[in-house]
Amino acid sequence: MADDRVFGMGDDPSAAPTWPALTEDEIARAVAETWGGTPAAIEWRGARPLSSTVGVGLADGERLVVKRMPVRLRDAVALGEEHRFMAHLRGRGIPVPEVRATVGDRENGEFVYEVHRVGVGEDRYRADFSWSPYRDSDDAASAGAMLGRLHSAAAGFDAPARPPRPLLACLHGDVVGAFERHLARRPSVARFLAEKNWRAEVSEFRVDLAGVAPLWTHGDWHATNLLWDDHEVTSVIDFGLADRTTAVFDLATAIERTAVDWVSLRDGGPAHVRADQISALIQGYRAARPLSPAEQNLLPDLLPLVHVGYELSEIDYFLTIADDPRNAEIAYHDWLLGHLHWYETAEGRELRDVIRDLSVR
């Protein structure tokens, strides 16, 4: 993908970026105010649409990643929530790169800059769309094992759940309740949905979450947020959706992100369900952290629910920060309703049955 394009939400796989590219002056200032040193070269520019990101080589050989976001999306307080969780995991042996942040002004607004040390390993999924499958089952197994390790390491991090913000993965036990809670907390979403007959359009799914303990989790587990050495996961990155949910919610999210070809479904094609990768991911996870009976029962039924809270928060982002009502409509129709409706199909029910069998083996 060209440096001046990012991954698209709609029919076009690439799109013009919402946010301007990071300039050399911005990069130099962000590096100086966090880690120090002098940038020598921009090694790559990211194609993720929700921020501007570059890989930078310094004059002394150090390599950093600079990520810029508007403060209305993530201010210093919000980043502190994520960074404390990352530090906790790092202290428990999870390979999470160190990160620092600074706030600065541009001509068109105030931004926050996260500057990460480059993690160990190869970023070999960087050019892939986030909702893409693993290269093979070995990668899926390694990703599952690292997720299990991360959940074990997260124990003891008892920060409260994050306040409502745009772009957060949120845990809900039922679809209608999720809509009602976001309507109450997000005025832009309330206005958006007031023009729709959403109660008739959504599919109702419900689970009982009483049997699982809350836990801080990653929230966005897929191959593009991992670094690799052959088939081994060597670093975990991008904690922007981390929050207090549950371990089984995070595992269900990891399955939902990569097991179904949502782009193909959106375009009227097949789902290309990767049963082999689902099996490998769950087996890898259980080798690192066993599932409790309650988690085994919840896992298949959580699948239709894990994306609802995030998608409502993404609609909020498009309406309040990106000023992009077209993508808000795409998020609602294609990514929120589209996912829910697919889980009502025979293929969607079959996937949940497969996972029900795998989770208790």
Q: Helix crossing, 187-194 with 308-320: angle to 10°? A: 100
In this prediction, residue 12 carries a pLDDT of 54
52 close to 115: Cβ distance less than 8 angstroms: no
CA distances from 5 to 19, 248, 334 (A): 11, 35, 21
At 160, phi and psi to the nearest 5? -70, 170
347: its two tokens: 């293929």
In this prediction, residue 92 carries a pLDDT of 98
Specify the CATH class of 137-360 in words.
alpha beta
Specify the CATH class of 6-117 in words.
alpha beta
* Block residue for tokens 């931004």: 111
Going from N- to C-terminal start, the domains of the chain cover 6-117, 137-360
| Beta partners for residue 114, in sequence order | 67, 101
pTM of the predicted model as reported, rounded to 2 decimal places: 0.93
316 close to 351: Cβ distance less than 8 angstroms: no
Please give the DSSP secondary-structure letter assigned to residue 31.
Answer: H
**CA within 13 Å, CB half, 207:** 23
* Block residue for tokens 């979403």: 189
Please report, in tens digits, the pLDDT of each residue of the chain (361 residues total): 445 544 445 555 555 666 788 899 999 999 999 999 999 999 998 777 677 899 999 999 999 999 999 999 999 999 999 999 999 999 999 999 999 999 876 655 689 999 999 999 999 998 887 788 999 999 999 999 999 999 999 999 999 999 989 999 889 999 999 999 999 999 999 999 999 999 999 999 999 999 999 999 999 999 999 999 999 999 999 999 999 999 999 999 999 999 898 888 888 889 999 999 999 999 999 999 999 999 999 999 999 999 999 999 999 999 999 999 999 999 999 999 999 999 999 999 999 999 998 877 6
254 close to 144: Cβ distance less than 8 angstroms: yes
- β-pair type (243-245, 215-217): antiparallel
318: its two tokens: 């498009």
In this prediction, residue 226 carries a pLDDT of 97
121: left (phi over 0), alpha (psi -120 to 50) or beta: left
Q: Cα 318 vs. chain centroid, distance in angstroms?
A: 16
In this prediction, residue 107 carries a pLDDT of 56
At 151, phi and psi to the nearest 5? -65, -40
In this prediction, residue 173 carries a pLDDT of 94
Task: Report d(CA 114, CA 132) in Å as an integer.
Answer: 25
Instruction: Name residues whose C-beta falls within 8 Å of residue 57's C-beta, 6 or more positions apart in sequence.
Output: 39, 40, 41, 43, 63
